[in-house]
Amino acid sequence: MSAAGELKFERNSLIPIDPRTKIFLTVTVSTITMAGGTGGMMDIIRPCLVALPVLLLLLSQRWKAAARFSITYAVLYGLELTVIPMLTGMWNFILNAASGIYTHMLPGFVMGYYLISTTTVSEFVAAMERMHIPQKIVIPVSVVFRFFPTVREEYAAIRDAMKMRGITTLRSPMKMLEYRIVPLMMSVAKIGEELSAAALTRGLGAPRKRTNICEIGFGPLDVLFAIVSIFGWAGFFLK
């Protein structure tokens, strides 16, 4: 197998999906689930869009993330149907607002997690170049693609170091803020600078056209998801 074939799409994905399809699905799910409302076609479109992140996570073999999202959404939706109608006054308002916000925003956040966790910087840059996106947009967004995973790794390292010293949230919450949050904020500033320098070192800001060994392209699954997204937008505008 060639090197290009080994780097194609997500290595753990059962069926690879083009990065452009992922971006389109993320925008579709985030927008429609947050602002789509209810009634009419939306009663059919919304459940389909909510189930879409779960399907994508399963295709990329992220079983734990799919299970967490499914359980969290099921619990929140169950509260809306059972517990919240039994409450009155301020508690009804607070829980109903909190549950409504989470159920509307959670699918979009999960789609963003799926997009960032399954798309490499090279794949993203190749997709943006195919779409003829200006470099002024490609470079900052490509830095963001590596920023959040790097911050997560940094926080995990800080957390493990503090656990070895017996500093946990329950035992010493104030020390946790001092010894975890402060180092993390200092690391965040350095990470941004280092990722920006790495992006420029790779030639993202060069005036000449870059080559890319990542093979991207649309397949049958991309067409299927595009059709689902189009139906979603049709129901959103014709509701």
Q: How far apart are CA 17 and CA 191, in angstroms?
A: 29
Label residue 3 by pLDDT band (50, 70, 90).
very low
| Residues 27 and 83 grouped into a single domain | yes
Instruction: Please report, for residues 42, 93, 102, 157, 238, the alpha-carbon distance to residue 47 in angstroms, rounded to integers and kept in the order given.
Output: 8, 24, 15, 38, 17
Give residue 125's identity as a one-letter amino acid code: V
Q: How far apart are CA 81 and CA 88, in angstroms?
A: 14
| Residues 172 and 230 grouped into a single domain | no
| Residues 28 and 81 grouped into a single domain | yes
| Residues 90 and 161 grouped into a single domain | no
| Residues 158 and 88 grouped into a single domain | no
Q: Is residue 79 part of a domain?
A: yes
Q: Provide, rounded to the nearest whole percent, the portion of the chain with pLDDT above 90.
A: 9
| Residues 229 and 117 grouped into a single domain | yes
Check residue 77 and give its pLDDT. 83
Label residue 206 by pLDDT band (50, 70, 90).
low
Is 92 or 9 the better-scoring residue by pLDDT? 92
pLDDT of 101 above 70: yes
Which residues in 53-85 are b (16+ Cβ under 10 Å) and which e? Answer: bbebbebbebeebbeebbeebeebeebeeeebe
| Residues 102 and 138 grouped into a single domain | no
Crossing angle between the packed helical segments 19-35 and 42-59, to the nearest 10 degrees: 140
pLDDT of 42 above 80: no
User: How large is the C-alpha radius of gyration of the chain?
Assistant: 21
The pLDDT tens digits for 68-88 are: 999 998 888 888 878 777 877
Phi-psi region of 13 (alpha: psi -120 to 50; beta: other; left: phi over 0): beta
Give residue 22's identity as a one-letter amino acid code: K
Check residue 172 and give its pLDDT. 66
Number of CB atoms found within 10 A of residue 147's CB: 17
Following CA atoms 140, 142, 146, 149 in sequence, which dihedral angle do they give, to the nearest 10 degrees?
90
- Total domain count, the chain: 2
| Residues 98 and 143 grouped into a single domain | no
Which pair of tokens denotes residue 52?
């879409």
**Taking a C-beta distance cutoff of 8 angstroms, is the pair 74, 83 a contact?**
no
Largest Cα separation within the chain, whole Å, is 64
Q: Provide, rounded to the nearest whole percent, the portion of the chain with pLDDT above 70.
A: 82
Distance of CA 37 to the CA centre of its chain: 22
Q: Is residue 206 part of a domain?
A: no
pLDDT of 158 above 70: yes
* Mean model confidence pLDDT for the chain: 79
Check residue 59 and give its pLDDT. 87
Label residue 5 by pLDDT band (50, 70, 90).
very low
| Domain enclosing residue 106, as ranges | 15-121+217-237
Check residue 88 and give its pLDDT. 78
Number of CB atoms found within 10 A of residue 6's CB: 9
pLDDT of 6 above 60: no
Is 107 or 208 the better-scoring residue by pLDDT? 107
Distance of CA 58 to the CA centre of its chain: 14
pLDDT of 98 above 70: yes
Q: Is residue 117 part of a domain?
A: yes
pLDDT of 198 above 80: no
User: pTM of the entire structure?
Assistant: 0.76
